[in-house]
Amino acid sequence: MISFEKEKKIFKLDTPNTSYVMSVYADMYLGNLYYGGKIDDADVCYMYRQGSEQIINEGEKSGFMNGFPFEFPTAGMVNSQETCMDIRNSRGQNGIELVYKSHEIYKGKKALKGLPASFGDSCDSIDITLTNERLGIDVVLTYTAFNDVDIITRSVKVINNSSENINITKMLSAALTLDYQEGMKIIDLKGCWSRERHIVYENLHYGSFVNESLRGESGHQTQPFVAVATGNITQTTGEVYAMHFIYSGNFLGKIQINEQDSLRMVMGIHPDTFEWKLEAGDSFQAPEVVLNYSSEGIGQMSRNFHDFYRNHLIRSKYLHEERPVLVNNWEATYFDFTSDKLVDIAREASKRGIEMLVMDDGWFGERNSDDGSLGDWFVNEDKIKGGLKKLSDDVHSLGLKFGIWVEPEMISPKSELYKKHPDWAMQTHHSIPVQARKQLNLDLTNPAVVDYIKNCLKDIMEQATIEYMKWDMNKSLSDYGSEYLPADRQGEVAHRYVLALYEIQEYLVSSYPDLLLENCSSGGARFDPGMLYYSPQIWCSDDMDPVERLSIIEGTALLYPFSTIGAHVSKNTNDILGRTTNMADRAIMALLGTYGYELDITKLTDEEKEAIPDQIKTHKRVEDLVREGDYYRLESYNENHLFDAVEIVSKDKDKVMVVMMQVLCTPCIRDRRIKLQGLNPDYIYVVNGQKLHGSTLMNAGIIVPRPRGDYKATLLEIEKAD
C-alpha cells in the first residue's frame, strides 16, 4: 500500500510488516525519513524533520546538502557520501541538482524494457519525477511495495527532454540513508572458483565498505548484495537492512558512515566501466534493486528473499513443477566421449530411475579439448554419429529426456568463426586480448553477433528434441572494446553486453517455453537475480564435494530458494579437492537443490547402482518441500567448523525435513540437541516413530545421536500426525 500526505508531501509505502517513508522538503528535495518496522499512518507526520529554512539561506546551502538524507543523491552537490548519479553536459561540465516535480501512484507494477525485473499484481507502485529544468533532464524514481512479502523494489529512469546530448557518467539505482547504531555489522558473501558465497560478518566502521565486480558478471568472488545488521544479529533476532541487485554485470555496492553518524547504502551499475550517451529525446532505464528489512534476524531476511524470488521474479513453467533427475557426463568423461558412450550411460541411467541425460561440452566443431571451436555450433559427427537427432532419438527411446550444453557468448581464436569474423571478439587496439580457457568474449554489442547466436540456438533446438539446456560462461569479460560501436559509445560496452545477453536469453525462453534452462558460469560466477528471470535454476558451484558445499549452500540460501540451486551427486573422490566421501552422504546433501548425478554411472559398483532408485525416491518425497518450503538455518558449519543443520518447513507447517552433516568426529563430541524452528507449536509431529508437540521440538529440541566417523549426513523427515 502507498499513501500520500498532501500538506507536507510525505509518501508512505507499506508491506505486511514494514514501512518506508519519504518527504519533499520545501517543495524541492526528496529525502528519506524512515525504513523499518511498520508504523501507523496517523503518526507519519511525526517522522517529518524540520529544517527547511536552511534551504532558503543560500549562504549556508552546503551544510544542508551535506547532512540531508537524499533519496537519490547526485554528484556536484557537496555531498560527503556516495552519490547515485552524475552527468556531463554539452559543455563538458559534471554534476546535476534534482528537485521534486510530480508523482503518480498506481496499482501493480510496470515492466522494465530490456531488463529483468520483478512483477506481480499484489503490489502498489509510485513514480516520483525529479527534474533539472535548466538541463531539461527528468529522473523518474519508481518504487513498488509488495502486499504479500516484506520487499520494496526501486529503479530509475533518466529522460533527456532537452535539445542537446548529455553523457551519464554514473548511474546507481538506489540509496538508503539510516542512522548508524553502535556495533552494527556488515553481512557479506565472499569466495572464489569452487568456494563461492561464503558468509562473512564484518564490524561496520567509519569510512567505506565496498562490494563490487568488474568482471562483467556478478562473479565467484562476490555477490550484488550489501547488508547491515544490528550488533545482536542472529538467525532469529536483530534487524537487517539489505539490498540485492537484479543485474548480471559489473556492479557497485557501498556502505558508508560519515562524521554525523549517517549510514548510507548504495547499489547500482559500476561507474568504472560505464558511460552512456543520452541523446536528446531519449531515455535510459537503470536496473532494479530489491530492498529487504527484517526485524527477526537473518532467517527472516532469507525467507523474504526466497518468497519474493519465487513469487515475483522467476517466470519458468518449472517454478512449481517437478524437474527431471538428470545425469550429466562432464565429470564422467570430460571431452572424451562418443554418442555410443553417452547411450551406454543413458541405458544404465534408465534402469535406475534417472530421467534425463545431459551431454556436456565437447559435442561440436573440433572440440576435443578446451583450446578451440567455441562459436562453431555444428555437430562433430566423428563423435556424435548420425548427429543430434539420432542421439536424441536414441536417448528418448530409452525413456529419458535429453539435454545439451552450450557456451554461446564465447569465441575461440582457433575456430572457423574467428577466421571469418575476428572483429567479433571484444578487443581494444592498444593491447593483446586477454584469453581464459583459450577463449575470448564475443562482442554482444554488435547486432550481427546477437543474430548469429540466436540463429545457432534455433538451429540446435530444431535439430532434435531438447528438453534442457545448460548455458555456460567460462570467461569473465575483459578488453572492453567494440569494433562495432563508435568512439563516443565505447563506455557503453559493458552494459550493452548485459542487455544483449538478456535479449538472447529472452528470445530462447520465449521461443521454447517448455525448455528447462540452467545458467552457469564456470560454476557459480553468474548466480544473480537477473539470471533467475530467465532460468529457474543456476549451477551453484563446480565443487560438488559435500563438505565444501555446506558453506556454499549456506551462503547461496542466504538469498536464494533451494529450488534455484543446481546440486548433483558426484563421484566418490572429488576431482577438485581429492576428498573421498560416501555416496549415501553425497545423495543426502544433494537434496538441498535441484538434484542430479555427475558421474559415470556405468562404472559404479553394483551396490552403488542399486542405491540410486532409493535415493531418487527420497528426492521425490521431499522435492515439493525443498521447492516451496520455508528455510531455517539451525547450525552452521561455516561458523562452528564441526556440524551443519538445515531445516525446511512446508507453508502449512505439516511437513518438515532436516538435513544434517557431522564433518569432524572427535572423542569429545556427544549426542547433539537440535532445536527446530518454524513449526506450529500446537501440532503433534511424528519424529522417528515418536509423537511430539511442535512446542517441544522447538523448545526442548531433538537428540541427534553422535555419528561414528567423519562426513556423516543424516536426513530426518517429519510429518504432522493424523
Q: What is the mean pLDDT of residues 204-210?
A: 91
What pLDDT band is residue 572 in, cutting at 50, 70 and 90? very high
Write down the catalytic residue from 14, 443, 528, 542: 542
Instruction: Tell me: pLDDT of 276 over 60.
Output: yes
- Among 144-148, 170-174, 347-351, 669-673, the range scoring the smallest mean pLDDT is 669-673
Q: Which part of the chain is CATH 2.60.40.1180?
A: 635-720
* 8 Å CB contact between 234 and 258: no
**What is 326-629's CATH number?**
3.20.20.70
CA 674 to chain centre: 30
Told to judge if 543 belongs to the known catalytic residues of this protein, a careful annotator would answer: no
Write down the catalytic residue from 138, 472, 479, 543: 472
Instruction: Tell me: pLDDT of 24 over 90.
Output: yes
Measure the CA angle with vertex 114, ends 110 and 115; round to 5°: 70
Q: CA-to-CA distance for 285 and 500, rounded, in angstroms?
A: 14
Q: Which part of the chain is CATH 2.70.98.60?
A: 78-312
Domain 635-720: state its class.
Answer: mainly beta
Which residue from 308, 305, 294, 176 is spatially nearest to 234, judged by alpha carbons? 294
Told to judge if 188 belongs to the known catalytic residues of this protein, a careful annotator would answer: no
What pLDDT band is residue 221 in, cutting at 50, 70 and 90? very high
Q: CA-to-CA distance for 347 and 329, rounded, in angstroms?
A: 13
pTM of structure? 0.97
Instruction: Tell me: pLDDT of 460 over 50.
Output: yes
Measure the CA angle with vertex 109, ends 103 and 115; round to 5°: 105
* 397, amino acid identity: S
What pLDDT band is residue 48 in, cutting at 50, 70 and 90? low
What residues does 518 pair with on adjacent strands?
Answer: 470, 537
Contacts for 93 with CB less than 8 Å, ≥ 6 apart: none
What pLDDT band is residue 589 in, cutting at 50, 70 and 90? very high
User: 102 burial class (0-12, 13-18, 19+ CB within 10 angstroms)?
Assistant: exposed
In 262-301, at which residue ranges do the beta strands (DSSP E only) sit?
262-269, 276-278, 283-285, 288-294
Most confident of 38-47, 76-85, 209-218: 209-218
Average pLDDT, the chain: 95
Q: What is the mean pLDDT of residues 49-74?
A: 71
* 8 Å CB contact between 460 and 377: yes
**What is 78-312's CATH number?**
2.70.98.60
Which residue from 224, 179, 273 is spatially nearest to 497, judged by alpha carbons? 273
User: 283 burial class (0-12, 13-18, 19+ CB within 10 angstroms)?
Assistant: middle
Measure the CA angle with vertex 72, ends 69 and 76; round to 5°: 90
Q: CA-to-CA distance for 353 and 374, rounded, in angstroms?
A: 34
